[in-house]
Every structure is written in structure tokens, then in C-alpha cells.
Structure 1
Amino acid sequence: MDQRLSFVTLAVRDLERSRTFYVDGLGWEAAVHVEGDVLMIQVGEHVVLSLWVAEHFEGEVGPIVRGEGVAPITLSHNVATAAEVDAVLETARAAGADPVHPGEEREWGGYTGYFGDPDGYRWEIATNPGPIGQVVLP
């Protein structure tokens, strides 16, 4: 198996709300949009973010664990500077992200903040020092 990731699929409660957030709010471009089913956004050269209606997700993948708290996953969008982190967080806030945690210096040397999308998935906006941080920048 090749060492790569092709799709990240998130189960969403309201596809139109998610489309409004990601496409209208963040300014991303839909690659595929099937109303009432799925929205796919190419987020990298060979990577697609797929937002799939929760009921359809469960029908194929299996029951979703539900309850209080944050899903045990973060999606990270890395940028080159702390100022860019703050700018992206402000864009997310303007798009309706909730919550938005401001950027801060981390003990491991990076600068990160977080926002929640309409389904509560947490996006980390980060500048990451060192060689691995450079690998993920365009």
C-alpha cells in the first residue's frame, strides 16, 4: 500500500449548512456537489475533503458514535507565519465558525489556533517549525 491519504470524509448533519460554511464562508471551491448527499472539495494536489450526509455515511460505514465532547480528530491547515494563522482564524470567525480559539505560542515551538465547523469538527490553523512544517506548505 502506498503511503498517502486520498480522501478525508466527515459525516455532517446538514450538507447545505456545511456547503455555506466551506464554500461561501471560507471561499473554497466545490469539486463535486450532489444535493442532499455529498460535497467534495479538492484540498490538495491528490487529497479531497468529502462532506457526506450523516445518514448516508452510516448506511455505508456503520453507526456513528454520538455524545458530548469533541470528535477525537483534528484537521490541520498549515501556513507560513503566525500572522497568517490569525488571518485564517478571522476568516473562519466571519464565516460563522464556533468556537474560535485564538492563536497562541505552543510549548513545542509552533503557533496554533482552532475553530469548529458547523458539525463541531476542529480545524487547527498552524505554523509548524522545522522541516516537517515545510513539507506541508504549498
Structure 2
Amino acid sequence: MAPADDLAHGPEQTLLITELGNPRSYPWLRHAMFYLPEYPIYELRVGPLPPGFYAPRLATAMSRTPGAEIHVPAPVQRLVWFVDHWSPVSERPVGLEEVELPYGRCLYVLPLGPTPVTWAGYTFVRDGPPRRARAAH
């Protein structure tokens, strides 16, 4: 799978993940925000750091959100890790694909279905589609 194919689904269908605390990766949040401004990006604390995330595109994102449950918008079909290398202390979720990029870097792509995904103590829960308003009687 070519890297262009991985991001070809568009911003509304892709959630980018950067990591803070991965000893084998630079914290790529600012680069991702600059080069891919249309994509939702979540920076997750990993390793010895307490669980929590920073999602700069969320209205509530002036600070890190504590906790390990992350609600993903319904249109999102894939999680893409924007890291140098997968952390050797983190398990790889079933179905994770490694896509090699130039200069020894990789993207890690995980198709997201209706079932929650657990990784490194986090649980990604895909929100249901918006409900239609009922007519008042």
C-alpha cells in the first residue's frame, strides 16, 4: 500500500495519532499540524506518562484531556500513527499495517471498525452516526 493511498480517504475518515513518551520517536504533533492541517490529530501520552491526550482541533482542547477512553467521530475509518518507529514496549493492535516511507520512517495504519480498539492502555471507541431528530407529537 502506498503512503498516498493511506491518506487518500480524506481528513474526515482518518485520525492521525502522534505520541509523547515513545523513546523511538520524535513527538511529531507540531509537524503534523503544520503539514496536515485538515486532519484531526491526537497526541497520546505513552510509556511512563499518565494516560491522556491532546487534540488541538477540538473545541475543548486548550489542555490535555486525562483518561484512556478516546471517542472517535463516526466517519473515521482508520487510525494512522505518525511516528518514527513503533515503540518496542507497545503491543501492535491486530490488523495494524506498517507502511514504509523515505528516510527510514513509517506510518502505521489501523482500519477501524465498529468494535472498540485497545492499545497501550487506551480504548478507541467509534461514535455512532448522528441520530435523526424525531418529530414532536
User: Which TM-score bucket, shorter chain as reference?
Assistant: under 0.3
Question: TM-score, normalised to structure 2's length?
Answer: 0.27
Question: TM-score, normalised to structure 1's length?
Answer: 0.27
Which has more helix, going by share of residues?
Answer: 1
